[in-house]
Amino acid sequence: MAYFVWRLPRPGISGKMRLRSLLSWLALLAAGFQIIFQLAGGMVEGFGKSPSSFTFLGIASNILYVGACLAGTETARAYLINSLAKRRLHLKIGLLTLFFAALGLPFSAVGGFRTGFEFVKVAGSVILPGLTENVAASYLAYLGGPLPALIYRGALQSFIWFCPVLPDLSWTTKTLLGAFIPAFSLFMIHRIYLLESRELRKKNHAGENPAGWIITCVVSVLLVWFCVGIFPVFPSVVLSGSMMPVMYKGDIALVKKISGDEVRLGDVIDFRRDKMLITHRVIEIKENHGARVFRTKGDNNSGPDPDLVGPQQVRGKVVCTIPKIGWAALFAKTLAGMVKPGASPQGMEF
């Protein structure tokens, strides 16, 4: 592919030719910055052995495979991006970035989601880092052609494929690093390029800082973590009117994580039964073979739930309710087929 694209008429680069060398160095520094933070995460969470082969034949075949893929991808990326018309440029570059990000996804990791939580984990640890890496590569290819993008992605891929020991990071850490570090690096490359190309005066640059970008990235990641239950309090969408007038369909219940031993009579608890989440009030606490079990009932139901709730089923107790804002999540999941219209479970994970 690289050879085929190379033989096509070259459209030129959109950036200044005299800054190609600078862009190449910035690309290498951005990749190194990202690798350093991954190593720092490994020092906190631990390291694991790389799955790559480190025999002579294995290394040679991996060099050939990775090199060919990168050369073809980045040459094609630079050609397509710099061949675009100037009208609606950002939209076209965005679509091309999504296309190349999709090409790089390991489809074995992104298929067959059984729960929304599994999707969020893969989205945070695989899809988001791949997308931000491709955003940076597309920007570098737009300004400097294939070489800066190849240096940036080549350094990152070399670390993954040819380092015998890799950071064994949790999906939450991968999400944070995958969102924050490439975004910060891209911002700095953009500002440095504008300064060196004299498209941005220093006096204007001095009054700006990347705080807005950084805060946006961090808040977005923290919001995702909150929705999937990383923090002590997490949200759950109310799907029925069984707890009226305390909670109505479409409300968001904020649930505080507690163990079964912390449940008290009268608490409104969030628990899992089979594959369904239920939010009902505890009306009786009993002992069963030395373990506490709970009888629950919806405030708006005529009778108690037929089955007792074990302590291992308890996810937490409701501490607050936010009216109506869960309708958007409920509508989206109904369209996606995750909730059937007319279904009557009481709670739903984000």
Q: How confident is the model at residue 94 (pLDDT cuts 50, 70, 90)?
A: confident
Is the pLDDT confidence value at 345 over 60?
A: no
Of residues 344 and 280, the one with the higher pLDDT is 280
The whole-chain average pLDDT of the chain stands at 81
User: What pLDDT was estimated at residue 206?
Assistant: 46
Contact 152, 46 (CB under 8 A): no
Confidence of residue 291 (pLDDT cuts 50, 70, 90): confident
Q: Which residues pair with 278 in a beta bridge?
A: 271
Residues 150, 72: Cα–Cα separation, whole Å:
10
Give the Å distances, CA to CA, from 325 to 235, 288, 321, 334. Answer: 11, 39, 10, 15
The answer to whether residue 208 scores a pLDDT higher than 60 is no
Return residue ranges of the chain for CATH 2.10.109.10: 233-348
pLDDT for residue 164 is more than 70: yes
CATH superfamily of 233-348: Umud Fragment, subunit A (2.10.109.10)
Structure tokens given for 194: 């504008």
- Residue 136, token pair as written in the block: 């940076």
Query: DSSP 3-state assignment of 1?
Result: coil
Angle, CA of 246, 248 and 250, to the nearest 5°: 140
Q: Which amino acid is at 173?
A: T
Q: How confident is the model at residue 332 (pLDDT cuts 50, 70, 90)?
A: low
Number of C-alpha atoms within 13 angstroms, CB side, residue 121?
A: 14
Coil, strand or helix at 297: strand
pLDDT of residue 282: 95
pLDDT at 3: 53
Regarding predicted confidence, which is higher, 290 or 132? 132
